Amino acid sequence: MNLKKRSCMLGIFGVILLLLLDQFTKYLASAYLKDGHSIILIQNVFQLHYLENRGAAFGMMQGMRYLFVAGTFLMLVLLVAVYWKSPMEQRYRWARLVLILLAAGAMGNLIDRLYQGYVVDFFYFELIHFPIFNVADIYVTCGTALLILLFFFYYKEDDLEALISFGKKKRQDHGG
């Protein structure tokens, strides 16, 4: 099996594994928290609290399910295309990891929106009144943070061009 196919198989396996974890935690939240019973893990700091989020991050744009579904499908197509076209050098492993995290997070919440009409959220940091979130949100947040760090401190301009070039040859300036 060539390196590209192996990388894609590992990427698919990673997304599936992350999706299973996300969906399992949402199942547990629905089974044990949906009745309105919260589980306090650290008094006045952190708890598990069930919420049906019909909006986007932080509950914004409530009721725009079809816009989120369409946007998520477009984002997934872009993530898959960038993953497929990414160079197979070891230097780009971090970028592929980011793409796996973003895809798993997007798909985790997409599954909820398609089958339930809302996203199940259940982690609540009461201490800072942070909006309730879920495991898929953690994937997207960590993936985005890692992407920002990579862009600022690891990848150079040529690396970024290689990631998003979609097969275009770089123009070489030979001088003279």
What does pTM read for this prediction? Answer: 0.86
Q: Report the C-alpha gap between 1 and 122 in whole angstroms.
A: 41
Q: Report the C-alpha gap between 151 and 153 in whole angstroms.
A: 6
In the chain, the number of structural domains is: 1
| E strand spans, the chain | 39-42, 46-53, 119-125
**Residue at 13 is within a domain:** yes
**Residue at 146 is within a domain:** yes
- Per-residue DSSP letter, 129: T
**Residue at 124 is within a domain:** yes
**Residue at 74 is within a domain:** yes
Q: Does residue 46 contact residue 125 with C-beta atoms inside 8 Å?
A: yes
CA triple 20-64-17, angle to 5 deg: 10
The boundaries of the domain holding residue 8 are: 3-164
Q: What is the pLDDT along the chain (176 residues), one digit of tens a residue?
A: 798 899 999 999 999 999 999 999 999 999 999 988 899 999 999 999 999 988 766 556 666 667 878 889 999 999 999 999 998 999 999 999 999 999 999 999 999 989 998 999 999 999 998 999 999 999 999 999 999 999 899 988 888 888 777 655 444 444 44
**Residue at 33 is within a domain:** yes
**Residue at 130 is within a domain:** yes
Catalytic positions are: 121, 137
**Residue at 172 is within a domain:** no
**Residue at 175 is within a domain:** no
pLDDT at 160: 80
Q: Does residue 65 contact residue 54 with C-beta atoms inside 8 Å?
A: yes
Two tokens, residue 176 = 């003279």
pLDDT at 171: 42
